[in-house]
Structure 1
Amino acid sequence: MNKFYNLPIFLQWTISVMLLAIGMFLFTVTMSAFHPYGMFLLFPVVLPLAHFALTPLLTLLGMYKYYSPLLLVYSPNAMKYDIHMGTSFDYLFVMHWRERGLKARKKIWSNFLQGLIQIMEEIEAGKLPDTVKVEGTSYFFSVKTAQRLGFVLEKPSLSYRFNLIINYVDLWWMYSFAQNRLAFPRVFNARKAIISGKDLVKRKHQFEQLVARLQRDN
């Protein structure tokens, strides 16, 4: 996890609740000012701010479980691990403006792979069954790259597509940061990538080599 979670637990909770309260206040004021169409007009802006404000609280409540500073699992359970890249709150603590572009992409990839290695180690230790299904939807890597990593690709469900669309503003600025230019992620080309825990563990050496290469080149 990022440096925020190194703070004393009481301070983490205090800041998390304060962020929630401030977010709710701003949301209420904004929606009232633009009533009745404010929800529709400001939704693309309000949602990223809500994600930012809720990230630490959802983490403390166990809804988000981090395996690296930029890889989290939403509502983890023994049957399915729904993996996601970090939120804007994580980017604030993990990324630096000077890293935009290639360095950012390498850092994102390194965190992604390190997070998957941590999941493998939990499977090897018996904390997770090897039948767990690890899945995620991403526009960030290509079909060929996903397949080389052992993932099976499927068309995402409507709910997955909807989630990408409503989070487009967040995805857009994070993708642009990684590309070091104004860039628009092709969310309609995104695919759901799936791999079983058993097959994931078989890839551990491959992933460790990739992480070592990324860190050496960085």
Structure 2
Amino acid sequence: MNHKFYNKSKKDQNRFQIVLALISLVVVSLLIVVVVYVEFYLIGVLIIAIFLSIIAPFFDMPSLKKSGKMQYYSPLFIAEKPKNGLITIHGGTLFDYYFGIDRNMSGKQRTNFIIYQYLIGLLSLIEKHQNHPSMKIRGTSYIINKRTAQKIGFQVIETNVFQKMILSYNYFNILISNSLAKNRLAFPNINNTKSFEAEISQLLKRKDYINKLIESLKNKHI
């Protein structure tokens, strides 16, 4: 997996996180001082919560990967450990976008690259679990549209309330990720978020189509 963070030595990974932690500590300390001085406690708590939600993936993802709770199938496609016959999949976090997206790409190239990485990861996932055809895969995305999801074998399901709450809490995190993906300030429409579900067997039937999509996108992000 060509993920720039995990390709670093352990020493360099630790150095990056230590520096980020120190910078974050300074920023939070300054915010607390300002909040106490102006006495805007509610707004201050909100701003600090937003800031912490933005930097959290830079510590959470390496930790979850190390513990085995999350597995990367491509630099921008992650899956949780199977549980009760279900695998929950996720697109890359802000952490992954920061290390995974080439800053020289245009907005269109970045979008194609992200979808390409999603498909590469999905293909790797279904190939790994092809001996468990009844295993279900479930995910939520604001990038993959309903038509594309259905073409690769997914069915659209209702996004549960808890998932919507998580998305709302992480709105600013998603905002930055979306802006990195589009190479411009781009406000995500959480209302466009859709959840998808399919069995491994359904996705395996669409394997040839997924491969064709991968080939068509292969050079579009270069």
Mapped to 2, the partners of 1:136 and 1:93 lie a distance apart of 22
- 1:102-181 equivalence runs, <5 A: 102-124=108-130, 126=131, 129-181=132-184
Mapped to 2, the partners of 1:215 and 1:118 lie a distance apart of 16
The runs of 5 or more residues in structure 1 that have no matched partner are none
Give the secondary structure class of the aligned counterpart of 1:67. Answer: strand
CA deviation digits over 1:23-80, x for unaligned, max 9?
A: 8845863675346533323222220111223221221122221000000013443622
Q: What residue number does 2:205 align with?
A: 202
Mapped to 2, the partners of 1:15 and 1:64 lie a distance apart of 22
Q: Work out the percentage of aligned pairs sharing the same amino acid.
A: 29
Mapped to 2, the partners of 1:26 and 1:132 lie a distance apart of 46
Decide which moves more: 52-61 or 133-142: 52-61
Please tell me whether the aligned partners of residues 85 and 112 of structure 1 are also in contact (alpha carbons under 8 angstroms).
yes
Mapped to 2, the partners of 1:74 and 1:48 lie a distance apart of 21
Decide which moves more: 94-103 or 156-165: 94-103
Q: What residue number does 1:72 align with?
A: 78
Give the secondary structure class of the aligned counterpart of 2:88. Answer: strand
Indicate the RMSD between aligned Cα atoms, in angstroms: 2.5
Give the secondary structure class of the aligned counterpart of 2:104. Answer: helix
TM-score scaled by length of structure 1: 0.85
Decide which moves more: 175-184 or 107-116: 175-184
Q: 2:53 aligns with which of 47, 68, 73?
A: 47
Please tell me whether the aligned partners of residues 82 and 134 of structure 1 are also in contact (alpha carbons under 8 angstroms).
yes
Mapped to 1, the partners of 2:200 and 2:137 lie a distance apart of 7
Q: What residue number does 1:11 align with?
A: 11
Mapped to 2, the partners of 1:100 and 1:87 lie a distance apart of 20
The runs of 5 or more residues in structure 2 that have no matched partner are none
Q: How many residues align structurally?
A: 214
Mapped to 2, the partners of 1:186 and 1:170 lie a distance apart of 13
- 1:20-35 equivalence runs, <5 A: 22=22, 25=25, 29=29, 32-33=32-33, 34=35
Task: Pick closer, same or farther for the CA change 1:206–1:23 going to 2, 3 Å.
Answer: farther
Mapped to 2, the partners of 1:135 and 1:95 lie a distance apart of 25
Q: CA deviation at 1:111?
A: 0.3
